Chains A and B, each alone.
Chain A
Amino acid sequence: MSIASFAPLAVVLPILGAALTFLLIRHSHAQRAVSIALLSLTLLLECWLLASVWGGGTEAVNIGGWLPPWGIVLVVDQFSSLMLVVSSAVSLAVLVYATGQGMADGDRDAPVSIFHPTYLILVAGVSNAFLSGDLFNLYVGFEILLTASYVLMTLGGTGPRIRAGVTYVVVSVVSSVLFLIAIAMIYGATGTINMADLAIKLAELDQGTKTLLHVMLLVAFGIKAAVFPLSFWLPDSYPTAPAPVTAVFAGLLTKVGVYAMVRTETLLFPGDSLNSALMVAALLTMVVGILGALAQSDIKRLLSFTLVSHIGYMVFGLALSSVAGLGAAVFYVAHHITIQTSLFLVTGLIERRGGSSSVDRLAGLAKLSPLLGLLFFVPAMNLAGIPPFSGFLGKLGLMQAGIGLGTPLAYALVIGGVVTSLLTLLAVARVWNRAFWRKPEDAEHPDPVLLAEAKDSATGHRAGKTNVTLLPRTMVGSTLGLVVLGVALTVFAGPLFELANQSAATMLDRSAYIESVLGENAPVPGLAMGGGK
Chain B
Amino acid sequence: MSVNLTLLTVMGALYACGIYLILERSLTRVLLGLMLLANATNLLILATGGYAGLAPFFSKDTDPHAYNDPLPQALILTSIVISFAVTAFMLGIIYRTWVLARQDEIQDDVEDRRVAATPSFDAEDDAVIPVETSEFPLTMLGSDGTGVTDSPATVRAGGKTILAEDAALEEKPGSANVVPGPEGGVK
Contacts and interface: CB of A to CB of B under 8 A. Distances in A.
Interface of A: 136, 140, 143, 147, 150-151, 154, 157-160, 162-167, 169-170, 173-174, 176-177, 180-181, 183-185, 187-188, 193, 236, 239, 295-298, 301, 356, 358, 360-361, 438-439, 442, 444-445, 447
Contacts of B90: 169
A150 B89 contact: yes
Interface string B103-125: 00011011110010000000100
A442 B133 contact: yes
Nearest to B47: A188
Contact of A298 (B27, B48, B93, B111): B111
A158 B100 CA distance: 8
A296 B41 contact: no
A166 B103 CA distance: 13
Given A162-B100, A184-B44, A236-B109, A177 B38 contact: yes
B182 interface: yes
Given A188-B47, A295-B115, A296-B115, A159 B109 contact: no
Given A147-B85, A151-B89, A162-B100, A170 B41 contact: no
Interface residues of B, number: 43
B109 A445 contact: no
Given A360-B186, A439-B133, 8 more contacts: A159-B182, A166-B27, A169-B90, A170-B22, A296-B115, A301-B111, A358-B185, A442-B133
B43 to A, nearest CB: 9
Contacts, number: 107
Contacts of A239: 111
A164 B37 CA distance: 22
B82 interface: yes
Contacts of B34: 170, 173-174, 177
Contact of A177 (B37, B110, B112, B172): B37
The 8 residue pairs across chains A and B that have the minimum distance between CB atoms: A188-B48, A184-B45, A442-B133, A184-B44, A143-B82, A163-B107, A187-B48, A184-B48
A444 B123 CA distance: 9
A136 B75 contact: yes
B72 interface: yes
A164 B16 CA distance: 26
B97 A180 contact: no
B126 to A, nearest CB: 13
Contacts of A165: 93
Contacts of B185: 356, 358, 361, 445, 447
17 contacts: A140-B78, A147-B85, A150-B89, A151-B89, A163-B107, A169-B89, A169-B90, A176-B82, A184-B44, A184-B75, A187-B75, A188-B47, A239-B111, A296-B115, A358-B185, A444-B171, A444-B172
Interface centre among B37, B93, B110 (most CB of A within 10 A): B93
A445 B171 CA distance: 10
B71 interface: yes
A90 to B, nearest CB: 25
Contacts of B127: none
A444 B124 CA distance: 9
A147 B86 contact: yes
A184 B71 CA distance: 11
Interface in B64-104: 71-72, 75, 78-79, 82, 85-86, 89-90, 93, 96-97, 100-101
B173 interface: yes
B97 to A, nearest CB: 6
A176 B173 CA distance: 42
Given A170-B34, A174-B22, A187-B45, A147 B182 contact: no
B187 interface: yes
B78 A445 contact: no
Interface string B146-169: 000000000000000000000000
Contacts of B186: 358, 360-361, 445
Contacts of B22: 170, 174
B129 interface: no
Nearest to B109: A236
Contacts of A445: 172-173, 185-186
Nearest to B97: A162
B87 to A, nearest CB: 9
A147 B86 CA distance: 7
A353 to B, nearest CB: 16
Nearest to A292: B115
Contacts of B100: 157-159, 162
Nearest to A173: B34
A151 B101 CA distance: 20
A506 B29 CA distance: 47
Given A177-B37, A180-B79, A167 B106 contact: yes
Interface centre among A169, A301, A439 (most CB of B within 10 A): A169
Contacts of B89: 147, 150-151, 169
Contacts of B86: 147, 150, 169, 173
Contacts of B27: 166
B120 to A, nearest CB: 9
